[in-house]
Chains A and B, each alone.
Chain A
């Protein structure tokens, strides 16, 4: 369970960023996320949809305790993200499409490293590793250096790394970016399987197809603010456009106006 309540995140602009914003040179800060509230429940997939720079990644980083909110509160499985970051991190699995792995380690070593960081008991780790490696067919290359594996194999290792400690909450930040169709499909299956296993799942994406494939609940971001929040089925039933993409663009235009 994730509860995000009235969360804002303001970043100080760097010198380079100030130069880029020639329209308003007096600006010293930027609101990446502003007054955002939502709730992700176990056994459901919560999709964050929005264009690049809308605040999706910042929101996920706030939930994962990588960043601290400027205001508002976040709780994950009942733990406050600011006051109890280690307890929050113990609950989550975090996977992004751009994440790379330690290329000089083997899948066995990498998964063991993350299991140790999560304080897993050796017996529990072995059992869990067997399950995940069998499910993802990692055994065949479990002792090869990650740097020598194909993109698809690396993605399987990433999934194993994310799921080794059996997290109650799984965060996927644009998980299929740059992946081929087959590898993307395996990620989609993992997300669904996580939901079916009763986990709380939150996914950020800007791919419309993924939204329709995965979403139980949907939040649409624009310029750091939520412009829609609700069940996906409800969203579909109220669509004024023919397709999800058209509706998304219509909502963005409406928000800009």
Chain B
């Protein structure tokens, strides 16, 4: 154990003095969350605000628009009415973005309403992304106008407007705020944690095995009176630690990112902060430990096999897809942690993390994930030690 710690301390010191390791371990995982959350929330909020406060240019037919609808529009400060002679002209102006919406009532609209039939109205708009908000604003005005007509119709017929309600639905959503949040971000977060775990382990794994081989320092190290397993475990400890630190730093980055968003609703903020409670973080990190052990052993095996730093990079880079695909599958709707998915590496971590965030994961399934990942990590470490023990690979 003393020798393993000696090698671990040296490798850690060596790695921490390497700028590239520090960048992949600290900078890369720390920045995405604050940047993503900060920039996206600011941009989104400013776009929403802009769309909500914008004075909309709404075209109507000069001759066929009911007076009460026209006065409804005229009473609003956020609407500017533009009278146009034909539907085609209005459509062309919406198409060219000169109008935000065009509303054309059918010539027979008023008669249809009087005869208790449906009146036709055409709403022309061009909605995409942020313009959905503008379109919704106009749609709400039309809905409000329809409600006034309906109310007038019921009055005329001496009916209580409430008779239209055949059901009085009392909706009770028992999903906790955490579960609702988990649906949105629960899949996305583990995806990022898994990727950072992997990314954080890549560079030290290459540097401590293929790099050392290429530099010629491995040969000297192997002449010291230390077992190969001890050397491997020392190096392996550093690779695992950097992977876990990367994931830890990304969680810290998430905390910073959430802190800087002021416009976030208090309920949502409280829920996200509760995900970042010590208990959840400890559970998340402890799930990531066997995963990182598995990554570290796999990465070190390839790195030991490679003759040079460059060869190790070319062997390891394509494996990113093997990590991304199962991590991504966890994002898919309907994908949940079951007895079967708990056995699929990476996907099980993704789904278990989602379950931990939502507080819906069964302890038995979480235990199954732990056991399967620990078994896999032990197996990959065993294979790694076999590779490191083979002189034909070490001296390729």
Chain A interface (Cβ within 8 Å of chain B)?
11-12, 14, 61, 64-68, 86-87, 89-90, 92, 94, 96, 98-105, 109, 113-114, 116-119, 145, 161
Once the chains bind, are B225 and A99 in contact (CB under 8 Å)? Answer: no
Contact assessment for B391 and A89 in the assembled complex, using a CB-CB cutoff below 8 Å: no
B18 contacts A12, CB within 8 Å? no
Please state if B396 and A96 are interface contacts (CB–CB under 8 Å): no
A117 touches which of B6, B14, B17 (Cβ 8 Å): B6
Stretch at the interface among B117-125, B139-147, B215-223, B293-301: B215-223
In Å, the complex CA distance between A21 and B225 comes to 37
In Å, the complex CA distance between A90 and B3 comes to: 14
Known contacts A104-B14, A109-B13; is-contact A11 B226 (Cβ 8 Å): no
Q: Which residues of B contact A145 (CB under 8 A)?
A: 17
Q: Does B224 contact A (CB under 8 A)?
A: yes
Instruction: Give the A-B contact count at a CB cut-off of 8 A.
Output: 69
Interface of chain B residues 183 through 232 with chain A (CB within 8 A)? 215-217, 219-227
Q: Taking the complex as formed, is B10 at the interface, i.e. its CB lies under 8 A from any CB of chain A?
A: yes
- Residues A100 and B391 in contact in the complex (CB < 8 Å), given A89-B225, A105-B14, A109-B13: no
Chain B interface helix/strand/loop/mixed: helix
B390 to chain A, nearest CB (A): 11
Q: Is the CB of B217 within 8 A of A65?
A: no
B271-305 vs A: 1/0 string, CB under 8 Å?
00000000000000000000000000000000000
A117 to B230, CA, bound (A): 11
Report yes or no: A117 in contact with B220, Cβ–Cβ below 8 A. no
Given contacts A67-B391, A68-B391, A100-B215, contact A92 B223 (CB under 8 A): yes
List the B side residues contacting A89 at CB < 8 Å: 223-226
> B382 within 8 Å of A by Cβ?
no
Centre residue among B13, B18, B222, B223 by max chain A CB count within 10 A: B223
Known: A104-B17, A105-B14, A117-B6. A99 touches B224 (CB 8 A): no
State in angstroms the CA–CA spacing of A100 and B396 once bound together: 18
Going nearest first, the 9 A-B pairs with the smallest beta carbon separation are A90-B225, A117-B224, A89-B225, A104-B17, A94-B223, A100-B215, A116-B6, A86-B225, A100-B216
> Does A12 contact B219, Cβ atoms closer than 8 Å?
no
Q: Which residues of B contact A86 (CB under 8 A)?
A: 225-227
Q: Name which residue of chain A comes closest to B224, CB basis.
A: A117
Determine which of A67, A105, A117 lies in contact with B395 in the assembled complex, contact meaning CB atoms within 8 Å.
Answer: A67
Range of interface residues on B (Cβ < 8 Å): 20 to 34
Q: Does B168 contact A (CB under 8 A)?
A: no
CA distance A86 to B215 in the complex (A): 24
**CA of A145 to CA of B19, assembled, Å:** 14
Q: Indicate whether B166 reaches chain A with its CB closer than 8 angstroms.
A: no
Complex contact B216–A113 (CB within 8 A):
no
Contacts A/B (CB < 8 Å), 29 sampled: A66-B219, A66-B391, A66-B395, A67-B391, A86-B225, A86-B227, A94-B219, A94-B223, A96-B219, A99-B217, A99-B219, A99-B220, A100-B216, A102-B10, A103-B215, A104-B13, A104-B17, A104-B18, A105-B13, A105-B17, A109-B13, A113-B6, A114-B224, A117-B3, A117-B7, A117-B221, A117-B224, A119-B225, A145-B17
* Closest beta carbon of chain B to A56's beta carbon, Å: 15
- Residues of A within 8 Å of B226, CB to CB, are 86, 89, 117
Contact residues in A for B215 (Cβ distance below 8 Å): 100, 103
Closest A residue, CB atoms, query B215:
A100
Q: B392 near A: Cβ within 8 Å? A: yes
Taking CB as reference atom, which chain B residue is nearest A167? B223
The answer to whether B217 and A117 touch across the interface, beta carbons within 8 angstroms, is no
The answer to whether A87 touches B391 (Cβ under 8 A) is no
Give the distance to chain A from B333, nearest Cβ to Cβ, in Å. 47
Q: Which chain B residue lies CB-closest to A98?
A: B216
Task: Tell whether A118 pairs with B224 under 8 Å between CB atoms, given A96-B219, A104-B18, A113-B6.
Answer: yes
